Each structure stands twice: as structure tokens, then as C-alpha cells.
Amino acid sequence: MWGLIGDSSLYCKEGTKRRSIKDGLWRRLPFVRELKVTPLAGKGLPQILTALKDGPRYAVLGVSYFGNDLGQGISRSLENALEELMEVASRKADKAVFFIGGSARKYKDAGMQLDNRYDESLAMIRRRLRHAGFSATSGRSEVERWPLCQDCLHWDVSAREDVCSFWAQLLTSAATAVPAPPHPPSRSTGDMHLELGDEVEIQGLVSASQHNGKRGVIVQRVLPKTAGGEVPYRWRVKCLEGGSEPLLLDLKEGNLRQDSDELLSTSAELNEDIDSSARPDSPSSRTHRGNHGSRSRLRTRSDVQEVIRFMEGEEEDMGSPSAKTETEAPAASTTCWDNLDPRLLPVVLTVSLVSSAICWFFLQCPLLSENGMGPLNILRVGAAVPFVLAFGLMAFASQVDPGMVPEGHPERAIERSYKSSQFPRLIRRYDHFCRWLLNGIGLYNHREFFMLLMVFTVMVTGSSIVDVYLLAAFFRPEHWVVECLLAAHLAYVAVFAYGLLPIVRLHVAFVSRNELANEWKDDLNYVVDDLETGTSKWVGELDIEEFNDKFDTFRYEPTRNRWDKGWHMNCYLFWCVPRWDKHQTGEF
């Protein structure tokens, strides 16, 4: 199987519709039996890593990355994701080629706020990939030549044939290329046979290891380099997974001398790679598998996160149709809503609310008046109030600037801010992207979004009570039409509540402990308890399997959240701190 995984650079756009390059690419690769194209609109390196880990094994793999998450340079979590991506690519693909494209000048001409750090970060990623033995290209001439569409995020459909031809040539070249050694030539120490749990120590520079099937090894540096003329290394090699046969490793070693500038540079980069690989995995680079295994009757953290994904969506390019094409990322299970054009979601919400309002005006209110609950006009005015509030808050939250950093603002790192691919500048106090409003939720509209949730909660509660009351009051055969309409409205309210209440519960908790949804999704403030030792561990220090197994037992730890000042002060900060001052950074 040949595969292609990447971000929005794997799409071309025609008007408002995204077009995958799979069909055009497959026509140029008639000798390929299976081709899997996994485009991840608006995603970054951690999401590409997750798609690769959850996907099949490839004979030839292409990875396209244009730095959606490089607005502020390479962070520690991105470094970790890059290291793991190289390790997973070497294990899950026989041949791999990376298209690390992008140009600050091209995107700046299109109106995006990027600087030289963007180009430098992409260049550094290409160097790291080449040093690890991968083929990595910038495709600069092609990137400069291919036109962008109006949203400045996708290639215009006129470039589709060129993009397909470029990738066909790139993958074919990777399939026929002889892989380069990831480090300078070295002498072999021979083969070693390791079984599960075996550990050995070797001296020298490990330059290659051969993985056998699903089994793997971990290579850890034991001693730092010395100040002598030569740079000795000692490594601990451990077999991670066992099998029916011992794991065959081809270990190589070498000594680097300090009088060689090229080798010293290689040594320094390798030290950095090993040190970073010893750090915990970024939570964003892992995927919980909450749909597997047994479930309790109560809704777990996994269930709630699935509802979050359904209601709030992923942080992707919502200004155009959804990322679903002929092929899909190996992500969580999808629903019918995931295949819907994201721009239709606000329409769906609006139409459902209008339908509910009509039902109230012409069904519930007359029935309540007939049952002696008050004059019809007064009941209709009372029923209209929450709908008017809901539509007003929806309009405000969806149209207002979510809190982008003003132009000319001093360039410094603003805590709790986030660079979304849909906005040209950082969003202060970024919470999440709401696909039902097609807008980010940040400094300027977070309170209104929370008020909208409260209004929805009142509407759901009131509608449920009234519908149940009227069903009981008019439960007679001659009123079967009324009963059916009331039952249908109650069913709509139940579905609405099923999605709404977990969101409300979470956001009430977020406000009370001064936590943002963006921080919650990254598990920054969560630990797991070890009942045997009586200690707790940050979830970011868990390996992938343990992370997935204990996902539903994560516990919020206030001491990890330096913004949490107690629920009284947290509520005061949320509701009372002025937000519209242009100098307000949202760091509260």
C-alpha cells in the first residue's frame, strides 16, 4: 500500500468545495494497487503523527506538512511530535518522503501574518528529517508557482494537475531511491538477538536499528559526552515488545572527533534528539480510544470528549466544506454530522430553534392558555424572551472578533493565546472553535458564549417540564395529534439536551476553576492517582497504552493550574474583568 498523509496542502479548492488529489494522483500511479490519501484540514504535526500511528503499514509513504502550527516557532511539544513522527515513519513505512513546504513571503502576499521564523522552522524540520535519513524537500519552485484560492489556505483548483504530478514524481522517486544512512559511515559491531525485557549496553554511536514486525527497541544514552579529544557514547538498548522469535538488531557504532566541524554538528543534533526523545510525549500527540472496551452506565470522560468533538468540532478550516473526502483520517468514529458541510451547521441550529419557537407559539402556548395557565399573548411574550436572547447571543458570538491581537501590538509571547489557522493573528484567551457558530471563542465573546449555554439550558429545562405537563394533561384519544406533536418536540428537546448538558457541565467547571477548553483538551492540569503508592502522576508522563487505559480516571489537579485562584475569584475574573481594552492581553 502507498499512502499520503498531510494537512490542507493535500487539497485543492474550487469555489467553496475542497477537492482531494487522490483521483488525479492514482491516475498517475497505475501500478499501485492500493493508495490511501489522508488529508487533515487545518491540522498540525501532532495530528499527522496520530494519523500515521493509527493507520496501516505503507510500502511508500508521503507526508505533507506546511506548518499550520508553526506561527510561534517550534515549541517543545512540536519537537516531541517531530521526534516521534520520524520514529513511527521508519517503523511503519518501507520508504518515506516528506514535503515540508510553505513560504512566509507567499502567504504574506496573501494577507497572512508570518515572519522569518516560519521559514526558519520549516528549514530546521527539513534538516532534522534529512539527518535522520529521510528524503525531505521544500518544493520551493512549485510552491511559489502554484496559485492559492481566495481563503489563502488551499491550492486553487487550477493547480490540481500540477500538485498530482508533483506528488506522483515524489513518491515514485522515493520508491526507487536507495535510502541514505542516517549518520556518517560507521563500522558494524555485528548482530544482537534480544527478547522481551532484555537489556544490553554498547559503546559508540548507534546509527541504525532494524525493526522486526511489531516489535521495537528503545535506545537511551547512558553517559554524556566527555571533554576529551574523542566523544565516547554508551547506550542502553532494551527490547520493548516480544514475539515468538528473538528480535534481530543491526547495531553500528562510531567515534566522533572534535576536530571535525561536520561531525561535531551531527553530534550536537543527535544529543538534542536523544534528550528530547527522553521527555514525556505531548498529550496532543496521543489519541484516547474511549470507544474500545467495556463502559460503565455513567457517561465517562471519553463519552464527554466525543460529545465535545461533535458539538464544538475540531480546530480546522471551517470556512469551507469539511475535510471528509474519498479517504478519511483514522480518527475517532464519525457521525452523520461529520459528513455535513460545516457552514450548514449554524443553519441546522437556527432552523431547529425557529421550529421549536413556532411549536411554542402555536402549540404549547395555546394549550397552556386553554388549561388556565394565563392569557395567550402573555404566554407568547414569555416564551419569546429566551428565543430572542438565544438568537441575539448567537449573532454576537458568531460575528464578533474573538479577540485577535491588534495590529502593531508588541510581538511577545502572550500566555493563554492561540494561533488558529482561520485567523491572521493570535487570539487572546482562546477557548475553542465552535463549529455551530463558525467562530473562535476567545477574549471578546467567551462570556456571551457562556450566557448562550445558560439560555439553552433554561430553554431545555422549561420545554421538558411543559411538554411532560401537557402530555399528561391532554392524554386522551381525541387529542392524539396533539400528543404526537408534543412527543416529537419532547424527543427533539431530549436530543438537544443530550448534546448540550455535558458541554454546560464542562464550561461551568472551566469557569469555576479558570481553565480554558483549549487547556483541557491538552490535559495540562490533569493527573492520575496510583493507589498502590498513594502518589499521583501528570498524564503527560504516561506512555500511550497507559494513557488510553486510564483516560477516564484523569483527575483535575488545582496545583498544576496557576490561573486557578479559587472559585470565588475565578468567577469574578471571568465576569468582571474588562475585556474590550485594546491593551487587555487576556492573561487572567
Both 211 and 156 in a single domain?
no
554 in a structural domain: no
318 in a structural domain: no
Both 275 and 163 in a single domain?
no
- N- to C-terminal Cα distance for the chain? 50
Q: With a threshold of 0.85, does the pTM exceed it?
A: no
Both 248 and 121 in a single domain?
no
The total domain count for the chain is 3
Both 9 and 158 in a single domain?
yes
CATH number of the domain where residue 142 is located: 3.40.50.1110
Residue 427 belongs to what domain range?
Answer: 342-406+414-506
Both 107 and 198 in a single domain?
no
167 in a structural domain: yes
199 in a structural domain: yes
> At 126, which helix (H) or strand (E)?
helix 116-131
The DSSP code sequence of 213-263 is: TT--EEEEE-S---SSSEE--EEEEEE-S--SSPEEEEEEE--EETT-HHH
Both 160 and 200 in a single domain?
no
Both 215 and 256 in a single domain?
yes
pLDDT in tens, the chain (588 residues): 888 898 877 878 766 666 778 878 878 887 788 888 888 877 788 888 888 888 888 989 999 988 877 766 777 788 888 888 898 998 888 889 999 887 776 666 555 666 667 777 888 888 888 878 788 888 877 777 788 776 666 778 788 888 888 888 888 877 776 554 444 333 333 444 444 445 555 544 333 333 333 334 444 444 333 333 333 444 445 554 444 333 334 333 333 222 222 222 233 333 333 333 333 333 333 334 333 333 333 345 555 555 555 555 544 434 332 233 333 333 444 455 555 666 788 888 999 999 999 998 888 888 888 888 888 888 889 889 999 999 999 999 999 999 888 877 655 668 888 877 677 788 889 998 888 888 899 999 999 999 999 999 999 999 999 989 888 888 777 778 888 888 899 999 999 998 889 899 999 999 999 999 888 887 788 888 877 777 888 887 776 677 777 887 888 888 888 899 999 999 999 999 988 887 788 888
Both 172 and 191 in a single domain?
no
Both 111 and 152 in a single domain?
yes
| CA 152 – CA 263 distance, rounded (Å) | 41
Both 143 and 52 in a single domain?
yes
Both 374 and 454 in a single domain?
yes
Domain final residue pick, 473, 506, 539: 506
Both 22 and 151 in a single domain?
yes
Backbone angles phi, psi at 297, to 5 degrees: -75, -25
> At 362, which helix (H) or strand (E)?
none
Tell me the three cell numbers of residue 84.
516521534
